[in-house]
Structure 1
Amino acid sequence: MTWVPNRWYVAAWDSEVDRSPMARTICNERIVLYRKLDRSVVALRDACPHRLLPLSLGFKEGDSIRCRYHGLLVGPDGAAQEMPIKSERVPKAICTQRYPVVERHRLVWVWIGDPERADESLVPDFWPCSAPGWTFDGGYNRIECDYRLVIDNLMDLSHETYVHQGSIGQHEILETPIETRVEEDEVYVSRWMAGIDPPPFWRDALRSSGPVDRWQICQFVAPSSVLIDVGVAPVEAGATLETHDHGVRGFVIDAMTPETERTTHYFWGMARNFDIEDAGFTARFKAQQGQVFDEDVEVLEAQQKAIDMNPDLRLRGFSIDQGSARARQIITRLAAAEGAFAG
């Protein structure tokens, strides 16, 4: 196991889950999700307690699911409500696992582990996604790689220079030193680029040319999220690394949910505090961001294949990998505390 049990993981965007059953594998556990009539989300183990046919193949009846194989009716609490032969008594022991669910910041989170330990205060605080004066939207990619490789990618933005050279990459990123600090179960990597020309993506967002100050502050939040405070401001605005509500500012929101040890659900988005009423710009911004992340997907999947083909080799860490190395150490420590292995 390479992840931390007894934590919240994003299972879906709020718009993905509707009345019809939806199946998704989270941390090697197959889960079925759907909404009840009151629109609250149900998450159950996607296996009928009779013959284990996926419940996601079944038929919805009110807030319950009838198994498509023999007709066992399972309620939203996971308990059997009706046997295949309706005259038979329903044993209390016949049930399927139910997962705690929280909807927050337009995402559906499920608790993987002991349901008695589900603590809503442990849901990562994606505050820009819900705060007044901000707007938020995003997308999804399924990536065929270890979720920790995605965290490595996001905590080391030096890769932008070459992977994203047509959009957000520029050589000043590699030429600027980083500052790394650890605060309990969080890691911060900061980079301040003063008096530079903005890359195309940020120039268009600012709607002006000329030298800018650019910042990148990556924040790893255990067990598998990264928030990146990014933006540019005209030099004359006087922005600083500590105070930069100038120019155009956004938070890249990243939630990496392990599907298996070699595949990842990647939920991404951008929360921003400028042009928040411009729905057309939001759609265009999301499309551009999606193109940027597609470039990451290509690299990460190729990296995972190379790792699998070279079992005698190990990843090496340079100075630019400080953030990702600290994040991995936190994951390993938290997993070990749960009696799990995060090698």
Structure 2
Amino acid sequence: MNLLAPRNNWYPLTWSRNITRKLARHRILGMDLVVYRSEGGEVIALDDACPHRLAPLSMGKLRGDAIECGYHGMTFGPDGRCIRIPGQPMIPPNARVPSYPLREKMGLIWIWPGDPALADPSLIYNLPQFGEAGWHAAEGDALRIETNYLNLADNLCDPAHVSFVHLSTLGNAASEEIPVEHSFGDRGVLVWRWIRNAPPIPLFGKYGNFSGHVDRWHYYDYIAPCIAVIDFGSADAGAIADPEDRGRGLRIFACHFITPVDDNVCIDHWLHVRNFALDDADVDQRLHADFRIAFNEDKEILERIEEVVQARPNAKTIRLAIDAAPQRMRRIVERIVAGEAEARASA
């Protein structure tokens, strides 16, 4: 597998709500893991292969906080060390499976697949509005997309496609000719544009009660390798003079936390944080229905593109001005991965 993804990074693995005392199998970066909760509620992830015959540990049983292999009963503690071999009192020192650092944040379980000594929890992404007064967070879905995770990241660095792919939810024709602006950092890309004095998009037409034209914005904030947060909203035309005052309008953060499953599959864990209808569970469900339509539109076009790429391996594509941010996004990931490889070589 040649998946281009840093190892020393926090990745979303699954929703916290999904992990219980039942053994569950999850795949990330081409690695199969068995994940479960301890009796005290701690989340544990081990390599999902017994070192004896490679039987998946997820087919075994929990014995307290340890896993008993379902083939020959070898038992492994939460740290991956074997603590029992039936009929054999001597346990070899290499009878162990890898374990991985985990943390829970923003409703998700985050995993560090690289060097455990570098797993600093403060590096997990934090959206300041999540959990703050005046904002409401609503967990969404885990959308499986049959494409490489960087292709989804391309999409999430690209406001231009919204005018054509999401006309029933997130876009309209008013934005077609508005150029995008961008800025670049060491680990991220920010792409944005404002559409002034234009009809509201369908989504904000439902919830904004706007009587006329609006000013609306899209800020696509990508942080390598797997975080994309879209800050978008609307206000009455002329109501917001300073772009930093976006909180005065209807504002949503659509958060996309991407799990690279392997070379050809990724999972988009999405949620939203908004500054209106804070205690309205019906709005949660209505917004999620809209988002499901929009994100499935992305899924459809990305998977169709993947089919064409597989059918035309030697096809040449052209570059447009709107490709500046996605290209920089990929260069950032390549640089991080190359830095890790250099560090391993020097070590």
TM-score by length of 2: 0.94
Amino acid in the other structure paired with 2:202: P
Residue pair 1:203, 1:209 contacting (<8 A) in 2 also:
no
Cα deviation 1:147-166 (Å, max 9, x = unaligned): 11111111112111221111
Instruction: Tell me which moved more, 288-297 or 132-141.
Output: 132-141
Task: For 1:180-199, list aligned pairs within 5 A.
Answer: 180-199=182-201
Task: Report how far residue 210 of structure 1 moved.
Answer: 1.3
Alignment gaps of 5+ in structure 2: 343-347
Task: For 1:35-46, list aligned pairs within 5 A.
Answer: 35-46=37-48
The aligned residue for residue 240 of structure 1 is 242
Task: Report how far residue 12 of structure 1 moved.
Answer: 0.3
CA distance in 2, matches of 1:169, 1:130: 28
The aligned residue for residue 345 of structure 2 is none
Residue pair 1:8, 1:112 contacting (<8 A) in 2 also:
yes
The aligned residue for residue 114 of structure 1 is 115
CA distance in 1, matches of 2:128, 2:11: 17
Distance 1:117 1:314, change over 3 A: farther
The aligned residue for residue 14 of structure 1 is 16
Instruction: Tell me which moved more, 48-57 or 310-319.
Output: 310-319
Residue 148 of structure 1 pairs with residue 142 of structure 2: no
Give secondary structure in 1 for the equivalent of 2:246: coil
The aligned residue for residue 252 of structure 2 is 250
Give secondary structure in 1 for the equivalent of 2:234: strand
Task: For 1:201-216, list aligned pairs within 5 A.
Answer: 201-216=203-218
Residue pair 1:23, 1:46 contacting (<8 A) in 2 also:
yes
Residue 158 of structure 1 pairs with residue 160 of structure 2: yes
CA distance in 1, matches of 2:167, 2:46: 43
Task: Report how far residue 236 of structure 1 moved.
Answer: 4.7
CA distance in 1, matches of 2:252, 2:284: 12
Task: Report how far residue 239 of structure 1 moved.
Answer: 4.9
Amino acid in the other structure paired with 1:286: H
The aligned residue for residue 55 of structure 1 is 57
CA distance in 1, matches of 2:328, 2:174: 24
CA-atom RMSD in angstroms? 1.5
Give secondary structure in 1 for the equivalent of 2:338: helix
Task: Report how far residue 238 of structure 1 moved.
Answer: 2.5
Give secondary structure in 2 for the equivalent of 1:175: coil
Distance 1:239 1:272, change over 3 A: farther
Q: 1:267 aligns with which of 261, 266, 269?
A: 269
CA distance in 2, matches of 1:134, 1:239: 22
Cα deviation 1:39-80 (Å, max 9, x = unaligned): 111011111122111111111121111111111111111111
Residue 217 of structure 1 pairs with residue 219 of structure 2: yes
**Misfit runs of 4+, over 3 Å:** none
Alignment gaps of 5+ in structure 1: none
The aligned residue for residue 104 of structure 1 is 105
